[in-house]
Chains A and B, each alone.
Chain A
């Protein structure tokens, strides 16, 4: 469903690349965690899938299509096949729950009757039935994120990208959100979730891809947040270097 072939992304030619020769394949219907420290390249990974950025070298394939070959007027079509959820929800504050979700359908020209039919269905899936008329500020953080998820999946995309969707939520609420994402994944949607939340990763036991300084250092099925297998060889050397860097940074903070 998503394939990275030797993808490098350089923002600043003088600094290290944000992604460095990444090779990765995510299959249809898979649930993948993308873990790693801030600046490890998780967000860049997601942006490349959305064609928000171009890869400096290498190819990104989404649904079998090389995104570099998608002309700019067909990019909207690509994005209709991908739902996105953010840490900060990004709801429209003047619109109620129903209107926020309906907005995603209106702007791609869905008819009123289809919207009236689909939106309540999706709100039910994310556990918000009966709250259609609430305004975003009347909802808890967890509920707001559910609205955002509903909006992301209302057009039935094949892929759902979640960029730290539980970053602003407490652990219990986060688990509720994970339940929603899992349900969406069960319905056949490929989910890629970037996260720092070790509890969630450990609980879910899904595929974990760990990025460090733009390099994939771990790719395990049914894994934990931290590695279960000893780090050796090249990966070991890089892990040590990065640990040293983290130590240094913490030393500076203290």
Chain B
């Protein structure tokens, strides 16, 4: 009986305040979509890190005929210089940091270059001796790049030591920035949502002050009086959160794994199933915020 009664009260409250309830739904929808987008970006970053960091290498590029670096003053790398570098890579001092390395000759480099840019006219204007040969090193711990760089960049025959990680790091930094921006927007929107929920509950309490006054007089418990109002706010916010989760799922399903994954074949995108992990968080966040702000509003505006 009491449950049916409370549900009825909620229903009538939602109907009476329909426009406000819709605005609460929309504001929580938008704000939680931003929260979820920030979360998805972080997941995407982690996914890409996991995927790429295993594949990235530190490359020691050796001098070729056209090198201009100071270490290459004596012209292209000689056989002794190259053997010397290989010996250094095998020495225990360096070996402890690397798991393995390969030598990429100019011919290999040219082959890879042609594969990579097969659709581009640049292939026709590049010749084999323009490309450097290199040692490709897989690090045990990619963070220890600095040691390799210090050891090898001053050696004779070495043009430069480059860490592919740094290129990726820049991309990740950019993505991180985007997710922080999304969080900031989300924060502002959540603040709006809380204010709006507060106002809505206040209006709702005001428009039903006759009922609540009578409930008080006949001795209805605090729960029976307040619960319909609180649930009203929570229901509106949860509907918003569900809409936000749905939107994010659609984005992952049809944009990330549809259009984008076709354009960027080598990029691992998060799947739409992974997005479903965010949904419960959004729903809990929306419902929790609405519940707390309704409760605090009622404490002020609904005497019990």
Residue B206 at the chain A interface, CB threshold 8 Å? no
Q: Given A109-B224, A111-B1, does the pair A92, B218 have CB atoms closer than 8 Å?
A: no
Residue of B nearest to A95 (CB): B211
Residue B216 at the chain A interface, CB threshold 8 Å? yes
Q: Are A76 and B1 in contact (CB under 8 A)?
A: no
Q: For B213, what are the chain A residues with a Cβ–Cβ distance below 8 Å?
A: 90
Q: For B221, what are the chain A residues with a Cβ–Cβ distance below 8 Å?
A: 73, 76, 108
Q: Are B222 and A92 in contact (CB under 8 A)?
A: no
Which of the four size classes fits the interface of chain A? Answer: 20 to 34
Q: Are A151 and B1 in contact (CB under 8 A)?
A: no
Residue B167 at the chain A interface, CB threshold 8 Å? no
A139, chain B: closest CB distance, angstroms: 17
Q: For A84, what are the chain B residues with a Cβ–Cβ distance below 8 Å?
A: 217
For residues 1 through 44 of chain B, which have their beta carbon under 8 Å from a beta carbon of chain A? 1-2, 5
Q: Mark B207-238, 1 if CB is under 8 A from A, else 0.
A: 00011011111111110110000000000000
Residue A110 at the chain B interface, CB threshold 8 Å? yes
B55, chain A: closest CB distance, angstroms: 63
Q: For A104, what are the chain B residues with a Cβ–Cβ distance below 8 Å?
A: 214, 218
Residue A80 at the chain B interface, CB threshold 8 Å? yes
Residue of B nearest to A73 (CB): B222
Q: For B216, what are the chain A residues with a Cβ–Cβ distance below 8 Å?
A: 76, 79
Q: For B222, what are the chain A residues with a Cβ–Cβ distance below 8 Å?
A: 73, 76
Residue A222 at the chain B interface, CB threshold 8 Å? no
For residues 186 through 222 of chain B, which have their beta carbon under 8 Å from a beta carbon of chain A? 210-211, 213-222
What are 23 A-B contacts with C-beta separation under 8 Å? A72-B304, A73-B222, A76-B219, A76-B221, A78-B219, A79-B217, A79-B219, A82-B219, A84-B217, A90-B214, A92-B210, A92-B211, A103-B211, A104-B214, A106-B1, A106-B2, A107-B5, A107-B215, A107-B220, A109-B1, A112-B1, A152-B218, A155-B218
